[in-house]
Amino acid sequence: MNTRTEILIIGRNESILQTVVRLVNNNPEWIGTGAATDEDAIEKFHHHHFDVVLLTNGIGDEEEKKLRKIFTHQDTDIIIIQHYGGGSGLLQNEIREALGKRSAENKPTISITDDALKSAKWNISIQ
């Protein structure tokens, strides 16, 4: 079973895109796949499960809206991150923060009411 996080990286500048893919793949917990065009990104997204979509350089507002709409329609739990530079440390922090938020949102909460001592002969209080 693959427990690594699959990340689709979309960017217009091929050399920057390859650098970001390499930085993502340097983390043993992640697998990065690059796409330089919307069509390529959409095709890869339809044929493979990704946990995160990382939008990098050169994607316009209208293109971003279109991609977000398509990706969230197909997978309502997809994480979409914008990254426009700042080094590998910032990139890793952005990805980890987004994954941490999703993990916290999906963590189940448990509430238990125990009235086992309700009918006890003596008044017992546990604190």
User: Contact, 31 vs 25, CB < 8 A?
Assistant: yes
pLDDT bucket at 124, cuts 50 / 70 / 90: low
pLDDT bucket at 85, cuts 50 / 70 / 90: confident
Report if residue 38 sits inside a domain. yes
- Token pair for residue 108? 């189940």
Report if residue 112 sits inside a domain. no
Q: Residue 64: pLDDT above 80?
A: yes
CA separation for the pair 102, 4 (Å, rounded): 15
Report if residue 119 sits inside a domain. no
pLDDT bucket at 127, cuts 50 / 70 / 90: low
Q: Residue 119: pLDDT above 90?
A: no
CA separation for the pair 47, 59 (Å, rounded): 22
What's the mean pLDDT when you consider all of the chain? 85
Number of domains within the chain:
1
Report if residue 113 sits inside a domain. no
> Rounded to two decimals, what is the model's pTM?
0.77
CA separation for the pair 72, 51 (Å, rounded): 12
What's the rounded mean pLDDT across residues 46-58?
94
Report if residue 31 sits inside a domain. yes
CATH code at position 48: 3.40.50.2300
Q: Residue 40: pLDDT above 60?
A: yes
DSSP string, 56-125: -TT--HHHHHHHHHHHHHH-TT-EEEE---S-HHHHHHHHHHHHHHHHHHH---------TTTT-SS---
Report if residue 71 sits inside a domain. yes
Report if residue 53 sits inside a domain. yes
pLDDT bucket at 118, cuts 50 / 70 / 90: low
CA separation for the pair 15, 102 (Å, rounded): 30
Q: Which domain holds residue 30?
A: 5-106
CA separation for the pair 52, 58 (Å, rounded): 19
- Token pair for residue 4? 């690594």
Report if residue 121 sits inside a domain. no
Q: Residue 109: pLDDT above 60?
A: no
What's the rounded mean pLDDT across residues 77-100?
86
